[in-house]
Structure 1
Amino acid sequence: MLLKYIGLLFVGLAMAGAALPVLPTTPFLLVAAACFAKSSPRLYNKLISNKVFGPMILDWQEHRAIPKRAKIISLISMVLAVAWSCYVLPEPHWQLLVIALVTGPFIFIWRLPLSEDKKSEF
């Protein structure tokens, strides 16, 4: 039951991420899918059959790949968020902390392969 509630929470965060440019969508959906896969086959199938989010989740599960558009938007959002944070934060040690915290996820997303059927799309 706990996994079902966590999955619903992450679907809510993903929906917020779809509307807000700084909050990611895909990672939240992947966590939700993992929670639903173990707790609620009905909710898992509903998420996978969603025509907007389902293909992204299936690409990740089958190929560990993301669409080109999602990759570009993620990387640009990270760069803009870091740039804004470094502009707003007055002290260099805080700026370096922000850069250090974002470097790992940035490299991870940068190295992800593109979805086969989405390589030419943007």
Structure 2
Amino acid sequence: MKTLIRYLLMAFAGLCVMLGVIGIFVPGLPTTVFILMAGWAAARSSPRFLAWLENHRLFGPMLRNWRETRSVSRKAKWCAAITMTISAVILFIVQPFPWLAEGVTLFMALVLIWLWRRPEPTAPSPAPQRQA
């Protein structure tokens, strides 16, 4: 049973990384949240995958900041706010059901409120040292 859970968590971590990478290019799909979930799942299933994530040029600082101080960079906050705003505008333009656009926009606003309430890192988190 433990092995099955481990493999499910590894698959979930991989899926979250894929969604996070897609989120870099698709407005409205959050990168930060998916990478944080991937880090959580990798920490419980694959130390090697977690090490790769933490040493990654883009994802590493995000994961280290969250793990060490539960903080999110100002750049990540602004990127999320801008992409969610663009997504909300597009939704209101193309969505034939106003209530759906309103509901999704409300959800994005709640996520942004939560995100902007997170502290910002005081200094860049250094990359972990690789062991020989």
Is TM more than 0.5 here? Answer: yes
2:32, 2:62 within 8 Å by CA — same for their partners in 1? yes
2:27, 2:86 within 8 Å by CA — same for their partners in 1? no
> Once superposed, what is the RMSD of the aligned Cα atoms?
1.7
Alignment match of 1:9 (pick from 7, 15, 28): 15
Describe the superposition over 1:9-61 as per-residue Cα deviations: whole angstroms up to 9, x where unpaired. Answer: 11111121223333221111111111110111111111111122101111011
Alignment match of 1:105 (pick from 86, 105, 111): 111
Which residue of structure 1 lines up, in the alignment, with residue 71 of structure 2? 65
TM-superposed deviation, 1:70: 0.9
Could you list the runs of 5+ residues in structure 2 that have no partner in the other structure? 1-6, 125-132
Task: Say which is worse superposed, 65-74 or 21-30, in terms of deviation.
Answer: 21-30
Task: Say which is worse superposed, 66-75 or 18-27, in terms of deviation.
Answer: 18-27
Instruction: Write the letter of the residue equivalent to 1:79.
Output: T
Task: Say which is worse superposed, 40-49 or 11-20, in terms of deviation.
Answer: 11-20
Alignment match of 2:36 (pick from 30, 33, 42): 30
2:27, 2:87 within 8 Å by CA — same for their partners in 1? no
Alpha-carbon distance in structure 2 between the residues aligned to 1:74 and 1:33 = 19
Instruction: Write the letter of the residue equivalent to 2:105.
Output: I
3-state DSSP of counterpart to 1:112: coil
1:81 aligns with 2:87: yes
Give TM-score, length-normalised by structure 2: 0.80
Paired residue total: 118
Give TM-score, length-normalised by structure 1: 0.85
Which residue of structure 1 lines up, in the alignment, with residue 127 of structure 2? none
2:65, 2:71 within 8 Å by CA — same for their partners in 1? yes
TM-superposed deviation, 1:91: 4.1
1:85, 1:95 within 8 Å by CA — same for their partners in 2? yes
